[in-house]
Amino acid sequence: MSSAALQNLVNQPYKHGFVTDIEADVTPKGLNEDTIRAISRKKEEPEWLLEFRLQAYRHWLTMTEPTWPNVKYPRIDFQDISYYSAPKPKKLASMDEVDPELIRTFEKLGVPLHEQKALAGVAVDVIFDSVSVATTYKARLAEVGVIFCSMSEAVRDHPELVRKYLGSVVPPADNFYAALNSAVFTDGSFCYIPKGVTCPMELSTYFRINTQDSGQFERTLIVAEEGSYVSYLEGCTAPKFDTNQLHAAVVELVTLDDAEIKYSTVQNWYAGDQNGVGGIYNFVTKRGLCKGVNSKISWTQVETGSAITWKYPSCVLLGDNSIGEFYSVALTNHHQQADTGTKMIHVGKNTRSTIISKGISAGVSNNSYRGLVKIGAKAQGARNFSQCDSMLIGDKCGANTFPYIQVNNSSATVEHEASTSKIGEDQLFYFAQRGVGADEAISMIINGFCKDVFTQLPMEFAVEATKLLGLKLEGSVG
């Protein structure tokens, strides 16, 4: 009985699996320099950006797909993907021109595009397949000098900023998928927080893949100038298809002196069906550069979707006294695979990092934490604390932890803790004997397990995250 209840709870049906019937401008499948030129032309890009793409592409051709992650999938045919898909009409001057079908789509997903109906205090940039379709609250943000727009607009309206920072944290040749993204990225979000400004609302990007044969290659760039602060959220969903779609994004964050970026993700891409057919390949490069002294970058992620999740949101702690944080919950079920974790690269003096990772495996899934803590020779007094906990539900799933620790400075302190636990018959019986059914018991156990991460999420996201895990919050919130 207990295992049946466990199954029900972790087998929540995917609610975002519908396809929007909308006319799209899709480039033919295949990738070569002409494809890249075509994307660049469609987006009316400046010459330097086309050059950026072509260099990345040429380098990508020399690279081979990495095979070291603890995941298995058939080779991807990069010529069988369409690299650009945009809903028509693509040029939008105002919200009124957005296709009503699109507006309905996002309302269905709980992301209203009209500002009157929008989430209070959250500005949203909405990416549908390859392009940004709407950004809310732009005017209000502009009053304090915050730039929040699609990457395409940023290239057009703020080319000097984009040129300065694009590729500065994740260089085009960084890795196979970053190179591919640099060559073919189509849109994404751009945020710029000027000196001394605390962004007056949460910024959020909502990603939606809609087309069956297109990949999504978005690029996000957030720059926080001296003494500024921003909290940024991203959410992701996709329709159910029986084929796999590739999502290879790049996210770059830069904080200058005393600045802070808090970046939260609730990832719920379609995970494939119970037999492992379909689902998104989520191969993403996310990295933040704490460039200035006393700056801080904090990653919080709740990863519940995707057939395969393969990403390591990282921090390069360059500025003295800078802080990097990584809080992660990764849930895998059925045939899902996840190889995720972080890299904390300590370069500056007295830099500090914290890693809290919670992996939950159910079904026949495989869940790996992989993390690097590197203390450079000049990182005097650097400190790291890592805690990697795994929870197994049932006995057919797997959990692995691969910590890599490199310390080149003897004054550094590095701590690593790890644990593995299992929701067992005895735990559930204990709850049952106190009148509490299995659903509620599992909910409470998982919530307790993930508490250290959920408390890092902004409120609305924490609620969505707990719901996503098929759970209820402990009644004692507040």
Partner 1 sequence: MTGKTILEVRKLTATVSGVEILKGIDLTVHAGEVHAIMGPNGSGKSTLAKVLAGHPAYTVTGGEVLFEGSNLFELAPPERARAGLFLGFQYPIEVPGVSNSAFLRLAYNTVQGARGKDELDPLEFDDYIQDKLKLLEMDPAFLERSVNEGFSGGEKKRNEILQMAILEPKLAILDEADSGLDIDALRIVAGGVNELRSDNNALILVTHYQRLLNYIVPDFVHVMEAGRIIKTGGKDLALQLEDRGYDWVAEEYRAKAA
**Residues forming the site for partner 1 (CB under 8 A):** 1-2, 421, 425-427, 429-437, 440, 444-445, 447-451, 474-476, 478
Write down the least CB distance from residue 8 to partner 1, Å. Answer: 15
**Closer residue to partner 1 in complex, CB, 13/478:** 478
The answer to whether 115 and 137 are in contact (CB under 8 A) is yes
HSE-CB of 409 using CA atoms within 13 angstroms: 23
Q: What does DSSP say about strands 314-317 and 122-128: parallel, antiparallel, or unpaired?
A: unpaired
Q: How far apart are CA 364 and CA 7, in angstroms?
A: 12
**Closer residue to partner 1 in complex, CB, 411/420:** 420
**Closer residue to partner 1 in complex, CB, 229/431:** 431
Write down the least CB distance from residue 355 to partner 1, Å. Answer: 17
**Closer residue to partner 1 in complex, CB, 4/459:** 4
**Closer residue to partner 1 in complex, CB, 405/473:** 473
Write down the least CB distance from residue 5 to partner 1, Å. Answer: 11
Write down the least CB distance from residue 3 to partner 1, Å. Answer: 9
**Closer residue to partner 1 in complex, CB, 248/450:** 450
- Cα→Cα distances 128→103, 185, 404, Å: 11, 13, 37
Closest CA to 50 of 63, 36, 62: 36
**Closer residue to partner 1 in complex, CB, 404/430:** 430
Identity of the residue numbered 67 = T
Write down the least CB distance from residue 341 to partner 1, Å. Answer: 21
Q: How far apart are CA 330 and CA 239, in angstroms?
A: 21
Closest CA to 268 of 357, 336, 346: 336
**Closer residue to partner 1 in complex, CB, 380/427:** 427
Radius of gyration for the chain, computed over Cα atoms and rounded to the nearest angstrom: 22
Cis? peptide before 89, omega within 30° of 0 = yes
Write down the least CB distance from residue 9 to partner 1, Å. Answer: 15
Write down the least CB distance from residue 428 to partner 1, Å. Answer: 8
Cβ-count burial 82-103 (b if 16+ within 10 Å, e if not): bbbbbbeeeebeeeeebbeebb
Q: How far apart are CA 426 and CA 437, in angstroms?
A: 13
Site of tokens 């940024």 = 232
**Closer residue to partner 1 in complex, CB, 67/433:** 433
Q: What does DSSP say about strands 323-332 and 244-247: parallel, antiparallel, or unpaired?
A: unpaired
DSSP character string of 368-389: EEEEEEEE-TT-TT-EEEEEEE
